[in-house]
Amino acid sequence: MNNKKKPNTPTIPDTITKSNKRTRTQLKPKPKPEPEPEPGLCDIEDLCFKEEQVAEIRECLLKWYDVNKRDLPWRRVEEGDGKAYAVWVSEIMLQQTRVQTVVGYFDKWMAKWPSVHHLALASIEEVNEMWAGLGYYRRARFLLEGAKMVVEEGGQFPRSVNDLRKVKGIGEYTAGAIASIAFNEAVPVVDGNVVRVIARLKTISANPKDKATVNSIWRLAGQLVDRHRPGDFNQALMELGATLCTLANPSCSSCPISAQCNALSESKRSTSTLVTDYPTKVAKVKQRRDFSAISVVEILDGEEGTEYTSDSTSKILLVKRPEEGLLAGLWEFPSVPMDGEANVVTRRRAIDKFLNDSFGLNLTKSSNIVEREEVGEYVHIFTHIRLKMYIELLVLRSQDLHREKGKGVMSYKYVDAKAVATMGLTTGVRKVKCMVFSIQKVTICFIL
């Protein structure tokens, strides 16, 4: 920020009048023109696009978009409620996920729930199953809850940003996307791609994660949005950031608005400046290191003395995670958090206590443990968590587990071992399943 001090008013000497009365005359110094602020150094709150810049950017960007826009399924839907629903689903899926991955998920989702009315009738289990592999399952739960809210209030999508913001799970970004793309409201949309494009256009060196910076970029995006084609313009700006104005390798020679880009101009004037210097790189949050002991509990249906093979009829025990927190409400294998690296004895003690407390299963006195085997370790990476999982397979006779579902607060269920492959499990749980069943030589593992 360029904090400039205004020059002090010069001291004006007393003047003598003809009547010899002394008076003090306040002379105003002639104002000097303020110099143009250097790019990247001015106060971000003072930044704005000139009218001629806005007109040029709108025209060039929309012409480029009309020729180069990607053919995506949610862009083929006609305007109105159907379009709003398609934009909503696609934008929620696109958060933290690549477009190529989302296309397949979007097509399957829309085939199963073609409208908000269909989605509102779904269960959270069905939604999680369809969402499996996309991660951030809270987004899926909010989609379901939001759909129920829309249907309960008449079934018609809100038309404006302000009304859309009232729907569960719809924030400022998603509301702007729906309102502009589906209902032609002239409002901005700012995602990571838009932040990058605008930061380069205006050489904004402020922290892009800072609230004041984000607010200013929203304001700048609001100046740019085309009043006649707001939805197309917002998509064009995001498309530009996703395809040309990329993080590490921007294609400036192909950019339709390169003539308006301050970062490109600076890079041409100075070899020490690069377009990729904008926006400012922010240090990533250090990942937390967590540890967990996981027991894949297989319950045999056969009587004692029956030979155990990979083809034996059996069921797998799954437990439901708490409704709040990481992976809320999802199904997983029995899991116990550990304080750090742990040996086999420590892990088994923790698992034994968990199974005893949760299901009344006393493994230390049980004579019907068919098999207990260490399967291996697997590291699963979340955004801010590095989870190391120690995995075991525990095979038991059916009479060892008799706890009633109504006892205690934990929800659990038995699932046919081969049916587990079709369930909507998280990526980490599916990896554990693959490791265990690969050892058992059961061919239900699939590529993640």
Residue 66 region by backbone torsions, left for phi larger than 0, else alpha for psi between -120 and 50, else beta: alpha
User: Do 218 and 305 belong to one domain?
Assistant: no
What does the alpha-carbon distance between residue 277 and residue 267 come to, in Å, rounded to a whole number? 10
User: Do 301 and 220 belong to one domain?
Assistant: no
Q: Is residue 158 part of a domain?
A: yes
Q: Is residue 200 part of a domain?
A: no
Q: Which pLDDT belongs to residue 43?
A: 54
User: Do 173 and 48 belong to one domain?
Assistant: yes
User: Do 421 and 314 belong to one domain?
Assistant: yes
User: Do 227 and 294 belong to one domain?
Assistant: no
Q: Which pLDDT belongs to residue 182?
A: 97
Q: Is residue 226 part of a domain?
A: yes
Strands 385-397 and 369-381, bridge-based pairing: antiparallel
User: Do 292 and 433 belong to one domain?
Assistant: yes
Q: Which pLDDT belongs to residue 1?
A: 46
Q: Is residue 110 part of a domain?
A: yes
* CATH number, residue 432: 3.90.79.10
Q: Which pLDDT belongs to residue 313?
A: 73
User: Do 220 and 328 belong to one domain?
Assistant: no
Q: Which pLDDT belongs to residue 382?
A: 81
Spell out the long-range contacts of 320-326 with Cβ–Cβ below 8 A and sequence spacing 24 or more: 320/410, 320/411, 320/412, 326/382, 326/385
3-state SS of the chain is CCCCCCCCCCCCCCEECCCCCEECCCCCCCCCCCCCCCCCCCCHHHCCCCHHHHHHHHHHHHHHHHHHCCCCHHHCCCCCHHHHHHHHHHHHHHCCCCHHHHHHHHHHHHHHCCCHHHHHCCCHHHHHHHHCCCCCCHHHHHHHHHHHHHHHCCCCCCCCHHHHCCCCCCCHHHHHHHHHHHHCCCCCCCCHHHHHHHHHHCCCCCCCCCHHHHHHHHHHHHHHCCCCCHHHHHHHHHHHHHHCCCCCCCCHHHCCCHHHCHHHHHHHHCCCCCHHHCCCCCCCCCCEEEEEEEEEEEEECCCCCCCCCCCCCEEEEEEECCCCCCCCCCEECCEEEECCCCCHHHHHHHHHHHHHHHHCCCCCCCCCEEEEEEEEEEEEECCCEEEEEEEEEEEEEHHHCCCCCCCCCCCEEEEEHHHHHHCCCCHHHHHHHHHHHHHCCCCCCCCC
Q: Which pLDDT belongs to residue 343?
A: 95
* CATH number, residue 184: 1.10.340.30
Query: Residue 111: CB partners within 8 Å, gap ≥ 6?
Result: none
Please count the structural domains in the chain: 2
Nearest CA to 348 out of 401, 293, 427 is that of 293
Q: What letter represents residue 329's amino acid?
A: G
Q: Which pLDDT belongs to residue 14?
A: 40
User: Do 227 and 84 belong to one domain?
Assistant: yes
Q: Is residue 25 part of a domain?
A: no
User: Do 304 and 422 belong to one domain?
Assistant: yes
Choose the catalytic residue: 91, 239, 266, 298.
Answer: 91
Q: Is residue 198 part of a domain?
A: no
Q: Which pLDDT belongs to residue 324?
A: 74
Q: Is residue 14 part of a domain?
A: no
User: Do 295 and 435 belong to one domain?
Assistant: yes
Residue 148's domain comprises 44-190+208-238
User: Do 220 and 86 belong to one domain?
Assistant: yes
152 carries an active-site annotation: no
User: Do 228 and 332 belong to one domain?
Assistant: no
pLDDT, one tens digit for every residue, the chain (448 residues)? 444 444 444 443 443 333 343 333 333 444 444 444 443 334 566 689 999 999 999 999 999 999 999 999 999 998 889 999 999 999 999 998 899 999 999 999 999 999 999 999 999 889 988 998 888 888 999 999 999 999 999 999 999 999 999 999 999 999 999 999 999 999 999 999 999 999 999 999 999 999 999 999 999 999 999 999 999 999 999 999 999 999 999 999 999 999 999 999 999 999 999 999 999 998 888 889 999 999 999 888 755 555 555 555 788 888 888 777 777 778 889 999 999 999 999 999 999 999 888 888 888 776 678 899 999 998 988 878 899 999 999 998 865 555 545 455 578 888 887 777 667 677 777 777 777 766 554 433 433 3
Q: Is residue 339 part of a domain?
A: yes
End-of-domain residue from the set 221, 238, 255: 238
What does the alpha-carbon distance between residue 142 and residue 264 come to, in Å, rounded to a whole number? 40
